[in-house]
Structure 1
Amino acid sequence: MIELTVSPIVERKIKQGICVLEARDFPHLGVENALVHLVNHQGQFIGQAYLSAQNKGVGWFISRKKEPINQDFMQALLLEARQKRQSYEHSPLTTAYRLFNQDGDGFGGVTIDRYQDYAVFSWYNEYIYSIKDEIVAAFQAVYPDVLGAYEKIRFKGLDYESAYLYGDEAPEELTVFENGVAYQVFLNNGLMTGIFLDQHEVRGALVDGLAAGKSLLNMFSYTAAFSVAAAMGGARETTSVDLAKRSKELSEAHFQANGLAVDQHRFIVMDVFEYFKYAKRKGLTYDVIVLDPPSFARNKKQTFSVAKDYHQLIAQSIEILSPKGIIIASTNASNVPIEKFKKEIEKGFGRCKHRYLETYRLPSDFVSNQKDESSNYLKVFTIQVEK
């Protein structure tokens, strides 16, 4: 076993409950894709971690004990995780939700989602990928009711992004339910599946009538899941805007899965900033506007970053928002704390009067590490604009 001496700063972070190991804390790291014992400068054992670079940090702290990190270890974590999600497991209205969520469930670098009778594993680094057979075996022992599984590769270095793992193969287009609404998903087509499961509660508010009788504009709409939820909750009309050409076809599939006519629902393939200009030029207004951009995006004309540019979305939304309209402001940027996100939103409002109606964080199936704010990455505000 490799032994790694860590600085007092790292020791303090671990004792505080932070599990992700950051590159700045390991400036001369010569170990990669390995399990290590961490000790302090006095030689005292702190715990076990593994080192493997990913988009978030250079590794994860995983145990305060000297214990084998094997199938039995993972099986115990998965059993505990399953107990936490009993309300989802027994829900007749929701069949797609997260089963295991990185450090929130005790092991960073892997997530597992359930889509009806199938599971989707996401591997975030090379080390976790190297022990995937033990993790999958542990999962099969805990979830014998899952018929089949797929994997997503969320790190660089392999020549594929998505693959079949075991068991029965899912239909090419699988229907799942959330809050009683049907969504058509695809489990083995690139990294995406057709729906972002962390937005259960926000879509639930739309299903429950937040946009009832109103017009809704869904920016960065992807497959228009917010729009479908709004339509099922009585929205008068919806407009979904996304730059991806395939978004229209995928969005229409959700509406068809719920038997919704698309007469009052538009799907527009366009850059959102261009659509803001178009809507203003045409005098279009909306009662509810959903803003859920990627953390970072680039096209031929410009780049967009939630941390620096989100205020532009707010400012341009105000210009096409109906009197007393509602903005749903959302981000999944883990590097943007909720206070910073709120400041960016306030910058967009300027002197425009508004009030916050509701705040959403990750739903209960996306268990987060409560000692680490960045683990609870989702931040959503519903805001009523007084104009």
Structure 2
Amino acid sequence: MDFKELASSYKKELFGSVLPFWLDNSLDMEDGGYFTCLDQKGKVFDSDKFIWLQARQVWLFSMLYNKVEKKQEWLDCAIHGAKFLASNGHDGNYNWYFSLNKEGKPLIEPYNIFSYTFATMAFGQLYKATGNEEYAHVAKSTWEVILAKSSNPKGKWSKAHAGTRELKDFALPMILCNLALEIEFLLEPTVLHETIEKCIYEVMNVFYRPELGIVVENVTKDGQLSDSFEGRLVNPGHAIEAMWFIMDLGVRLNRPELVQKANEVALKMINYGWDEQYGGIVYFKDRLGYPPQQLEHDQKLWWVHLEALITTLKGYKLTGSEESLEWFKKLHKYTWDRFPDTANGEWFGYLNRQGEVLLPLKGGKWKGCFHVPRGLYQCWQLLEELSQDK
């Protein structure tokens, strides 16, 4: 495998196709922030603004400015979104709404903790780019709110009736693994250490079930399996993404055994989620083999495959696992044959089980300027490093 050539293809796709698509089409120059509901050619089909997608785009362009090149266009794009978020995105106490209308008026209340986590990431990365203390204040203040809400993330907006089937989900400890490293420079060492250790324990010892060989999405409050729709739910892409976060923590903490275990779990989850008939990784499964309640369970999604590319490549680089490299090759072919839109730029997000484009949109309520460019950036960097190792 020619790592140098592959690195060039990921880099070219990032800078030649994906970033121009968002820079040309997503900025709302009238009211601020970004449009994320973009059709195949980049035309806006809905003007609602979703906080986590706004924040992810701020983070993405700030990160590129910090790590790739001090390009003014990227910094301007990030600040453009951050101003809109700081003015409109929260209730004044850093409770971040889920969505706003075009002008910035709240549409959906702050029920979703991931509005908070991505706002923290965004303002932390932008602070690193600018040195503006106001951005640091937003990031640290929101982080404090996240910690306060972590035991009951939805708070008064939870639909669950208290006391009957109280579950906790994998998504929060998983994202905090990544977020803690993202804003390490803003945190007290003790807080950082406690957060990281707690998240590693939750991900690798509570949600990863060695007796099943898989990661589950929900467990009871005391860490037991639940025989219910939510308790049987498995999201292979989520688990695979979490494993590269854990690998990063293993490197940061100099714990090679943690990196090794994360790679092994990732390989189990890829094998578990892979569709032997049509290829690709399915969105959801029921761990007991019952019909999942999610009607989209057998779709093939952009983010799942990009995260699997990062994870297998990182696993190979850090552990030398030939199985990881073979999966990367298989995933690379599947992904690049189906998701990129060579005619209009950017990538499709949603394929049916057979691997055909199901929705031609490039962005919407759930897909924005994040997984595609982050995945391309991560793989480009890893491939460059591998090419220099050889």
TM-score for both structures, normalised by structure 2: 0.33
Higher helix share: 2
Q: Greater RCO between the two (CA within 8 Å, min separation 6)?
A: 2
